[in-house]
Amino acid sequence: MWHWTYKSLLAQPVALMASIATAASAFLLVMVFEAVYAGETEQVVAYLSHTDADVWVMQQGVSNMHMATSYLSDSKANEVRQVEGVASVDQILYLNTVVKSGNQPWFSFIVGLDEGDTRAGPWAMAEGKALPTAGEAVVPVVFARMTHLALGGTLRIADKQFTVVGLSEGTFSMANSVIFMARSDLEDIMGSLDIVSYILVKAKAGMDPVVLVGNIERQVEKVSALTTKQFIANDQTMAMQMGVETIALMTLIGSALAVLLVAFAVYSLIARQRRELAVVKALGASNRSVYLGIALQATGITLASIVLATVLALLLMPAASALIPQLTLKLTLVSVERIAVVGAVVALLASLIPARQVAQVDPLSAFHA
């Protein structure tokens, strides 16, 4: 049976290649879509993941950052500083709004930093300085490339203009791009003084962040505190609703098409061998052998398609990222494995239809024609 499986597949090289090409195209579609989804999912919380804080403190009732409105009097930072187990605190002001560079609008999260606040600022720089002072802004390098913005260039928020002094790495995502400026400038834009949005708390060595959260909520009135891990999880859930969920839906639809195409490719190839399989059966092969042979062919086609699709995806993705800097693509091994398993199951199921037809056929019919 092994020999027949192998020879039978290679006997129709053009049909085999067409089937593999169809299935590989389907797998490539899903891989690319999953890579977009995985990339955005990770990038959407990049800022929170890179800030050096153990606990986040915010306005009571608020539990994330994305699209949230959190305002506290800046005196709360002093109160938090006094809590047992707190090593240090930093504070940021935060606003989401539309930023304009030239005529290009962009929805951004603006983080207002205090002077010298390295913990809440950008973590990697492509160019320029990381901490802006009054009238200055640090923008994601991807945003700068998109809008042809260089150091010394200007961007606008409402009627205020800022000079770009730094280009940060890793701070850009479709749903969550972060621009840094001085807190005083952001207060000015918002028309409010002495307010902060979030307080970033560093715990003393050996202090459990969960315990620290309890301490802060007990000792400081009208604030919510969350461990960084919980805060990131909350934010990711919220940010996913802003665009990333759409990518998930698109991936789902792409996957449905892929399932159909893989099934079509395998079914077409196996169905073409019905007559040959009937002859094999007439020559004494059992139904079990027929099923096994067909299953092997389906698995072979799936594996070859997966390998081809993976190679193509690995070639395509760097080129796509270079051409479209806004894209964050991430193809994971888990994703490839999942696609391979689902693809193999679909291929096996699709091959069962012609296999069943052959199993039910009278072997003599092969010689009637």
Partner 1 sequence: MFHFVYRQLRHDAGRTMLTITAMAAVIAVILILEGFNEGLLAQLRNTVISRNADLIVTQSGVSNMTATRSVLPQFTRQDVEAVEGVAAAYPITGIPMIYQRGQQRTPISLLVYDSGGGANRLLTGIQPDKARDIVIDESLADKYSLTVGQPFVLSDFEFRISGISTGTAAFFTPFGFIRYDDLIDFYFESDIAADITTFPMLSFLLVQLDNNADRQLVAGRIEDAVPEADVFTSEALAAQDEALGSALMGPVFRFMINVAYVIGILVTGIITFSAVNARRRDFGVLKALGFSQSFLSRSVIVESFLLVLIAIPVGVLFARLIAAVFESVMPLYLILASEPIPVIRTAVASLIFAVLGSMTPVRIIRRLDPSAVFRS
Which residues from 63-92 bind partner 1, rule CB under 8 A? 63-64, 66-73
Cβ contacts of 277 within 8 Å, gap of 6 or more: 290, 293, 294, 354, 355, 358
- Cross-strand partners of 100: 105, 156
Distance CA 211, CA 29 (A): 46
Pick 124 or 257: Cβ nearer partner 1: 257
Task: Select the residue interacting with partner 1 from 260, 314, 315, 334 (CB under 8 A).
Answer: 260
Closest CA to 122 of 69, 63, 181: 181
Task: Select the residue interacting with partner 1 from 243, 292, 308, 345 (CB under 8 A).
Answer: 243
- Binding region for partner 1 (CB under 8 A) out of 84-92, 114-122, 203-211, 258-266: 258-266
Pick 130 or 327: Cβ nearer partner 1: 327
Site for partner 1 in 118-147 (CB under 8 A): none
Task: Select the residue interacting with partner 1 from 111, 164, 261, 277 (CB under 8 A).
Answer: 261
> How is residue 364 annotated by DSSP?
T
Q: How big is the chain, counted in residues?
A: 369
Distance CA 174, CA 210 (A): 32
Burial class (CB in 10 A: 0-12, 13-18, 19+), 321: middle
Task: Select the residue interacting with partner 1 from 9, 26, 155, 339 (CB under 8 A).
Answer: 26
Site for partner 1 in 280-339 (CB under 8 A): 320, 324, 326-327
Pick 59 or 228: Cβ nearer partner 1: 59
Pick 131 or 258: Cβ nearer partner 1: 258
Distance CA 326, CA 172 (A): 8
Pick 29 or 149: Cβ nearer partner 1: 29
Task: Select the residue interacting with partner 1 from 28, 92, 167, 226 (CB under 8 A).
Answer: 28
Pick 80 or 95: Cβ nearer partner 1: 95
Helical residues (DSSP H) of the chain, grouped into ranges: 2-11, 13-43, 46-50, 75-81, 141-146, 183-190, 209-219, 228-239, 245-271, 274-282, 287-323, 333-359, 365-368
Site for partner 1 in 30-59 (CB under 8 A): 32-33, 36, 40, 59
Pick 43 or 228: Cβ nearer partner 1: 43
Pick 61 or 214: Cβ nearer partner 1: 61
Smallest separation, CB 118 to partner 1 (Å): 26
Distance CA 160, CA 73 (A): 24
Locus of tokens 């605190």: 89
Smallest separation, CB 150 to partner 1 (Å): 19
- Number of residues this chain uses to bind partner 1 (CB under 8 A): 75
Task: Select the residue interacting with partner 1 from 212, 238, 266, 296 (CB under 8 A).
Answer: 238
Task: Select the residue interacting with partner 1 from 11, 124, 150, 158 (CB under 8 A).
Answer: 158
Smallest separation, CB 344 to partner 1 (Å): 19
Pick 87 or 98: Cβ nearer partner 1: 98
Cβ contacts of 149 within 8 Å, gap of 6 or more: 101, 139, 143, 155, 164
Site for partner 1 in 89-108 (CB under 8 A): 95-98, 100, 104-107
> How is residue 241 annotated by DSSP?
I
Smallest separation, CB 163 to partner 1 (Å): 16
Distances (CA, A) of 124 to 140, 167, 298: 10, 9, 48
CA 179 to centroid of chain Cα atoms: 21
Site for partner 1 in 183-222 (CB under 8 A): 189-192, 195, 222
